[in-house]
Amino acid sequence: MQLVHRVTDLRAALAGERDVGFVPTMGNLHEGHLSLLRLARNSGGPAVASIFVNRLQFAPNEDFDRYPRTLERDCELLQEAGCDLVFAPDESELYPEPQEFKVHPPPELADLFEGHFRPGFFTGVCTVVLKLFNVVQPAAAVFGKKDYQQLTIVRHMVRQMALPIEIVAGETVRAADGLALSSRNTYLKPTERDEAATLSRELQKLATAVHDGGHDMQALADAALASLSARGWQPDYVAIRRRSDLREAAAGGPLVALAAARLGSTRLIDSLEF
């Protein structure tokens, strides 16, 4: 496996390569990321992962400075998973000058849920993802379903920008009790870890309620919010939406439940298709 830090070195390493599979990450990797890397290997060409903590998607009061940087361990895990090349630029390499040109996704996709509670988040995400796409030029890029809104927005961006990239969705990898694996799970105190699985259980309860004939999506979501609050969580949102565009939905179509809530000082997100 090759590790490069400069754009010129990355392009040289991939010169002449076709069918590159790509997984953009912020590092502090876990089995969820590695499952995406294994999907990227299916592209038929080299599997590439990037590790870059993107300042543009963090608000001033968020955890940019304390976000774990674990490059050496990440590279060991990626090598074991079959990664061919890791691109780990520093900030001055990817943003050698102030990033004044940015990608602003449409408000109807980007200003709800995560975008409502983290203003500007998806502008930061789309800007760095498009920049990484331009650098790596993959045939396929893999994103996890846990960050469902991000996956949806990237899909729309690729389609509207006519990028020749297949967006592959990776299933959420979960612990035995259902907790979605996340880099931020390391922030959980031992006393919070068992309770954290409640978030996934609430989403499963929503799916079951709809399958059992529930039609009032807002009432079901409100009940889940109340349940989390009663257990000491600080929920930001729980919602049931159409998978394709995250618009309000009726029972019967392909749906997704999305949630974000804070447990102690740790903010967790999750999603479940049904």
Q: What is the SS3 assignment for 136-147?
A: HCCCEEEEECCC
**Phi, psi (rounded to 5 degrees) for 200:** -65, -35
Q: Name the CA dihedral angle for 91, 96, 100, 101, rounded to a multiple of 10 degrees.
A: -90
**Phi, psi (rounded to 5 degrees) for 17:** -80, 150
Sheet holding 266-273, edge to edge: 234-242, 255-263, 266-273
Element (H, E) at 115: helix 114-117
Element (H, E) at 51: strand 47-51
Q: Name the CA dihedral angle for 169, 173, 177, 183, rounded to a multiple of 10 degrees.
A: -110
| 97 class by beta-carbon count within 10 Å (0-12 exposed, 13-18 middle, 19+ buried) | exposed
Nearest-angstrom CA–CA distance, 30 and 183: 7
Whether residue 260 contacts residue 267, with contact meaning beta carbons closer than 8 Å, is answered with yes
Catalytic residue, from 5, 33, 156, 211: name it: 33
Whether 215 is a known active-site residue: answer no
What is the set of active-site residues? Answer: 33
